[in-house]
A and B are shown apart, each in its own frame.
Chain A
Amino acid sequence: MRKCNKCKIEYNGNLTKCPLCQSDLTGKKTPSVFPQLKEQKENILRKLLLFIVVAIVIISIFIEYLVHQRLTATKYIILSLITLYILVIYIIEKYQKPIKMMNRYFIIILILLFIWFLLIKSKVITTFLIPILCIVILLFNSITMIVLKESYINKSFGIILLDCILGLIPLLLNILSLVTTPIIVYICTLLDALIFFALLIFCHENLKEEIEKRMNI
């Protein structure tokens, strides 16, 4: 043990000076009781990605403005880049929990689609993209439920329920007359209803518990 002759304290570990009074320690070193940890590195990949996104945005604004004195194409570039950035970052952070990740991923895409719709107001999004995404979400969940059975239902019941609610969004869009050809919307709603009643009949215990714990007041 090393000793500080001023503080009269003995130290374990690889110290040369007293951490309290900074005077030199004397005596033999003894191993520390704490491991020497490497400094946690910050995620450089994330920073690099962000920088690339920002750089492309600035450059495209610069070029388009210089050539045309307006910013139409840039708007789309920015939107696509931000969408891509969010998705990539999400994959980097959550890659170790695939099913959970997929489920959240769907929701993020859904939100992004809405933002796109608000910005460019194309009914292609509400007629095709959103309903198709909802069908994919519902199918993904049904298949996972069939394959993983109990364990998935018990663990992810909240998400399954949330997806069922999201599955009604296309119908809502249809009611608001934001859909041009509603066939995909109908398929989606039908699938949603089937899954919902299947849950109600086969898993009403889970349903009750899920509501109880989510709503505890």
Chain B
Amino acid sequence: MRKTSWYKLDNIGKFYSATKSNFPIIFRYSVTLTEEVDASLLQEALTSAINDYPSFNCTLNKGFFWYYLEKVSKPYQVEEEKTPICYKMYKDSEDLLYRVNYYKNRINLEVSHILSDGRGTLGFFKNIIYRYLNLKYNLKVETEDNSSIYEKTEDSFDKYYTGPSLRTITNKRIYHYRSRKKKDTTFLEYHISLTKFKDLAKKYQVTITSLIIAVWIKSFEKVMKEREKKKALKIDVPVDLRTIFPSTTSRNFFGLTSIIYDNYNLSLQDIATKVNELLKENTKKDKIQVRMNQMISLEKNIGIRIVPSIIKDIALRITDDIVQNNTTSSVSNIGKIEVNKKLSPYIKNFNVLTSTKYIQMTICSYEDDLSIGMSSRYINNDIIKNFCNILKDNNITGIMNINEEDSYEKM
């Protein structure tokens, strides 16, 4: 018997594969090591990591009804970073849906959202790092994952789907930052102290995520025109469903919850409290289950399933535009990244970034470093400036990395 050579896409993957030409969603993990990266060792590490995570080494192919993933044997050829951050990766059906590159002390793993989500990819990324550091420093640290390949490639959406739920619709018009956009994306990483930020969150009696979202909301409020305040701010917050359902899949398994804010001119404390309450309420299992069912019911609908993929592509692309237009921004917190104690001396920090159509935030932390990734298509960085200023007013400042040199010249 031949081994399985293809996978069905998960629910989210199906949606993203249809809309990929509209706007490819790609996110990037990067790790900063203490020494420069050795390309050949990295390739060796990747080649063995792929054996643990075979569902990553796939190309995207078009079937009659849906796209599907075709397994290929050759892993990605590691290279020095030469494409822009989160650069589109799907040209034709022979291109892999991930990319591994390096620059100086950094290893970057970029993954198309068709394949996996942030938490699902983290296991793969850590596997690569563990293997790389083992090779480089002659260590024997075991990789962390103990779930089987079957568990890792499971479509957990399908497993925990309980049936269609009704869609809840907000009638409010959603605010969008209107400012000149540019062709490429500005990526920023703001590194601040986790302890300091944690203390601040404690002071406000909210979680880290809630406080970041509250500051983000406040940053938007400051650029809004008075007449735009009739509209509501909507921040999407992905929730890792692995924390709610027992799953160790490395494919997509997240739900979306959103924070809707329309009661302007509140203090930061009031916003933070409100966001905290909303997040707590919306991430309860029964609420999340409803949202998840809503997301999946579309794919489960027999009427939609039997439509040929060429037509589905067009239909989903249009829906995608509507959905994208229906949100102000999104904040995605990967949370704390932990590594084996023996490896931490070789690792300086972790970062996560995502491609965007508007402006988005992705967060992760490692030891005392809280890395806030921001990607923006706008020429002016006022929202980000407001964000940093609010933190500064609370005595939190840090180090910024930006992928541009003197971007103001383009104004």
CB contact under 8 A between A19 and B407, given known A13-B401, A100-B94: yes
Q: Tell me which residues across on chain A come within 8 A of B84, comparing CB atoms.
A: 37, 40
The answer on a CB contact under 8 Å between A20 and B103 is no
Interface string of B67-92 (1 = CB under 8 A from A): 01010000000001111110000001
Q: Tell me which residues across on chain A come within 8 A of B398, comparing CB atoms.
A: 9-10
The answer on a CB contact under 8 Å between B392 and A1 is no
The answer on a CB contact under 8 Å between B104 and A213 is no
CB contact under 8 A between A154 and B5, given known A15-B405, A19-B407, A20-B388: yes
Q: Pick the contact of B6 from A9, A10, A100, A213 — CB < 8 Å?
A: A213
Q: Pick the contact of A13 from B32, B106, B385, B402 — CB < 8 Å?
A: B402
Stretch at the interface among A27-35, A139-147, A160-168: A27-35
A21 and B66 alpha carbons, distance in the complex (Å): 47
B298 within 8 A of A: no
Q: Tell me which residues across on chain B come within 8 A of A97, comparing CB atoms.
A: 92, 94
Interface residues on A, range: 35 or more
- Closest approach, in angstroms, between the C-beta of B220 and any C-beta of chain A? 15
The answer on a CB contact under 8 Å between A217 and B384 is no
Q: Tell me which residues across on chain A come within 8 A of B2, comparing CB atoms.
A: 205, 209
CB contact under 8 A between A33 and B399, given known A7-B385, A205-B2: no
Interface string of B182-197 (1 = CB under 8 A from A): 0000111110000000
B338 within 8 A of A: no
- Closest approach, in angstroms, between the C-beta of A148 and any C-beta of chain B? 15
- Closest approach, in angstroms, between the C-beta of B219 and any C-beta of chain A? 11
Q: Tell me which residues across on chain A come within 8 A of B83, comparing CB atoms.
A: 37
Q: Tell me which residues across on chain A come within 8 A of B294, comparing CB atoms.
A: none
Q: Tell me which residues across on chain B come within 8 A of A7, comparing CB atoms.
A: 385, 388-389, 392, 397
The answer on a CB contact under 8 Å between B385 and A33 is no
The answer on a CB contact under 8 Å between A213 and B103 is no
- Segment 138-185 of A: residues with Cβ below 8 Å from B: 154, 158
Interface string of A14-27 (1 = CB under 8 A from B): 11110111100000
The answer on a CB contact under 8 Å between A33 and B401 is yes
CB contact under 8 A between A217 and B406, given known A9-B398, A33-B104: no
A67 within 8 A of B: no
CB contact under 8 A between A215 and B63, given known A13-B402, A205-B2: yes
- Segment 376-411 of B: residues with Cβ below 8 Å from A: 381, 384-385, 388-389, 392, 397-408
- Closest approach, in angstroms, between the C-beta of A94 and any C-beta of chain B? 8
**Chain B: CB-nearest residue to A16:** B406
A36 within 8 A of B: yes
The answer on a CB contact under 8 Å between B388 and A15 is no
The answer on a CB contact under 8 Å between B406 and A215 is no
Q: Pick the contact of B65 from A13, A158, A215 — CB < 8 Å?
A: A215
A13 and B401 alpha carbons, distance in the complex (Å): 7
19 example contacts (A-B, Cβ-Cβ < 8 A) are as follows: A7-B397, A8-B392, A9-B388, A9-B392, A12-B400, A19-B408, A33-B32, A34-B187, A35-B80, A37-B83, A100-B94, A209-B6, A213-B6, A213-B63, A213-B70, A214-B64, A215-B63, A217-B66, A217-B306
Chain B positions within 8 Å of A, measured between CB atoms, are: 2, 5-6, 8, 32, 61, 63-66, 68, 70, 80-85, 92, 94, 103-104, 106, 186-190, 305-306, 381, 384-385, 388-389, 392, 397-408
Chain A positions within 8 Å of B, measured between CB atoms, are: 1, 7-17, 19-22, 31-37, 40, 94, 97, 100, 154, 158, 205, 209, 213-217
